[in-house]
Structure 1
Amino acid sequence: MFLTLGTTLTSGAANAINMGREHIYDGLMTRTRARPVVRKLITPNDAFAFAGVSGTLGVAALYFGVNPTVALLGGANIALYSGLYTTLKRRSITNTWVGAVVGAVPPLMGWAASSSLSDPGAWFLAGLLYAWQFPHFNALSYSIRDEYRRAGYVMTAWTSPALNARVALRYSIAMFPLCIGLSYFGVTDWVFALDSSIVNGWLTYQAYKFWLEHRNSPKVARHNGQLLDPNYKFSSSSSGSAGSGGASNGFARKLFWGSVIHLPAVLVLAMMHKKGQWDWLFGPDEEEAF
């Protein structure tokens, strides 16, 4: 109860700070213009005040109700998301990699609530959440790349569509060894390594189709978002890259929705194949018996 409550409150604090800092730019994007600060339902200071109360209560719940390690992770994630990640979004494409770390921390919090972070399984689980965010976000951001560009957010979706698709494919492939690692280190049984590969293969196929469409797309800007060609003309419907348009947007949507299905599918499989999950029915494995 304290873990769930504390994680929710710290997550709310990080999001509130982000919305308070970026309300002007959020108003330039369809997906964020309905946020309460943008609509002037509350002021940025209201958002910061909410974050202060929510974050304090959240970290306290984690510290006193769980343990200091989980509280430290929760507090650090507030700073990482609302501080470093939010700042980098308008400065460098590295913001996506930092944001992926933010998404990988909650599994570590859950693990640290009941076991030691020295267990390799904790890091493979966090790695799974880290890697998943790239096919998920890179596909999402590509579909609305012009909005990110106009709002001043530096994303690979518009600065370098080829890199954007390549990274999505690279981390989709990384799902295979990460899932195998969960089996190797005893978090799951070995059947998980097999059936998770089917789900991972499906996601990787979607990422491959996405990459195939954009592998020859020209780079538009540097890592900091500065245009390589100041006279570069963006079309109204795309970032102006080769291969962009309806077909590639279709591949992006397929990859995005594939990622939405993929993550719960893999996690449900991991729970089904958790080591010792079915001992009550089939008895312990021979290795465990001895």
Structure 2
Amino acid sequence: MENTGYIEIRVLGSKGNIELHPDIYDIRDIIAVLQNVESLLFPEKKGRPLMSYEIKPGSVKHIIKTSTQAILGFNALLFQVNITKSIDFLEAPTAKAFEYFQESALKQNISFEISTSVADSSKLYISKDTSFQRTQDVWVDAELYFYGIIIDLGGKRDVNVHIDTKEYGTLKIEATKEMLSDYQSNPLYKSFGIRAIGKQNIKSGEIDKQNLKLLEIIDYNPSFREDYINKLIKKATKSWSGVNDADAWLNQIRGEI
């Protein structure tokens, strides 16, 4: 893989009287780290570059390799978290990943040292003495509207709606069997609106895309009426027929001349 760098997550601690090393590190902990490091690097997983993994001793070192561009961006993010001692400014998936490491440090009495392959890398230490948690009052319940094409619907156990939007990409929205069975027509692969409830950051306006719940599917059929647009253009053209310099005329209207 060309033009790569890496993120290193070093886990420090012990199991009983034995210092941590790869041979006594549980596979479930490895899986959890890998799931969360993906959110650290790529909150929007769609289209992410290749990631590879290696585990090394000392105590336990997780080495995740990916594109240099992604590593440079993450190094800058580490620097900002170190400076502010806050994760409130991060996108929800990234903030949740940091919260995972903080919660693991508290529950297992271990520490994490997160750094990158960038020269003079920023380093973030997470332990039972740190507090990398989002401020609760920054995220509030909000009613949200999304518009796009419904690409998946239903589920045997986890019932949800997948809607492909231009603004947010593909969203998975939790639903119930009752809500979907009451809907009369088949909305698959058609344009619809979704009214949902979820968490929104009152400072940045960002939404937490991982915890959305369906309130209503809204009929939505946007259309472009070319004949109507042409009529408006024709009507406006008559009004501008006596204007030789449009820019000068607009400046005069605005009082800039």
TM-score by length of 1: 0.26
Q: Which has the larger radius of gyration?
A: 2
Q: Would you tell me which structure has more helix in proportion to its own residues?
A: 1
Q: Would you tell me which structure has more strand in proportion to its own residues?
A: 2
TM-score by length of 2: 0.28
